[in-house]
């Protein structure tokens, strides 16, 4: 989605409300699948010719649990800030990589939101904090119940005994 900043681009002190839904349906980033549109709310503010964005992104994401491999859903929410400046702005802060230089008057909101969300995605995916995972022997999901496997640490000497028996 292109979002045009023209209404405040040349008006120091002007604000522009942001309340949109971005559709990333079917997209997958770092093991997270977008299950709902991303609601983005916030505000653009022109401060001395620079446009500052303070925003919040909310949606539901789907993951696969690292331990039991089951799919689960979780609410995702993150806040972020971004600073934009006009193409013809003075180059005093050219070194700043924190600033996005505008091409024309509109920004690519999809890209801005997506990049900020990716930074905040969880690295660990657990369906619940105490997920018991899968039995390393039979593959049973131990959250659903114990399996019949002997879960003693395996010791090569027992293998020899097993063969004798």
| Binding residues for Zn ion (CB under 5 A) | 65, 67-68, 127, 131, 135, 137-138, 140, 147, 149
Phi-psi region of 56 (alpha: psi -120 to 50; beta: other; left: phi over 0): beta
Nearest residue (CB) to Zn ion, 92 versus 130: 130
Work out how close the CB of 27 gets to Zn ion at its nearest, in angstroms, rounded to a whole number. 23
Would you say how long the chain is, in residues? 165
Work out how close the CB of 28 gets to Zn ion at its nearest, in angstroms, rounded to a whole number. 19
Exposure class string for 137-161: b at 16+ Cβ within 10 A, else e: eeebbbbeeeeeeeeeeeeeeeeee
Nearest residue (CB) to Zn ion, 67 versus 85: 67
Nearest residue (CB) to Zn ion, 112 versus 127: 127
Nearest residue (CB) to Zn ion, 74 versus 135: 135
Q: For residue 33, give the DSSP letter.
A: E
Work out how close the CB of 67 gets to Zn ion at its nearest, in angstroms, rounded to a whole number. 5
Work out how close the CB of 33 gets to Zn ion at its nearest, in angstroms, rounded to a whole number. 16
Strand 50-64 to 71-85 pairing:
antiparallel
Strand 106-108 to 2-4 pairing:
antiparallel
């Amino acid at each position: 989605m292109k979002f045009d900043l023209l209404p405040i681009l040349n008006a120091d002190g002007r604000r522009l409300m942001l309340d949109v839904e971005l559709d990333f349906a079917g997209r997958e980033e770092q093991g997270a699948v977008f299950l709902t549109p991303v609601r983005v709310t916030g505000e653009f503010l022109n401060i001395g010719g620079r446009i500052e964005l303070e925003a919040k992104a909310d949606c539901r994401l789907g993951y696969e649990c690292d331990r039991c491999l089951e799919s689960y859903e979780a609410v995702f929410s993150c806040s972020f800030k971004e600073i934009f400046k006009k193409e013809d702005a003075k180059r005093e802060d050219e070194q700043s990589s924190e600033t996005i230089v505008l091409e024309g008057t509109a920004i690519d909101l999809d890209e801005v939101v997506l990049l900020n969300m990716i930074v905040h995605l969880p690295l660990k995916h657990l369906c619940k904090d105490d997920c018991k995972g899968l039995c390393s022997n039979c593959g049973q999901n131990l959250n659903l119940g114990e399996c019949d496997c002997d879960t003693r640490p395996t010791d090569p000497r027992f293998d020899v005994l097993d063969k004798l028996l």
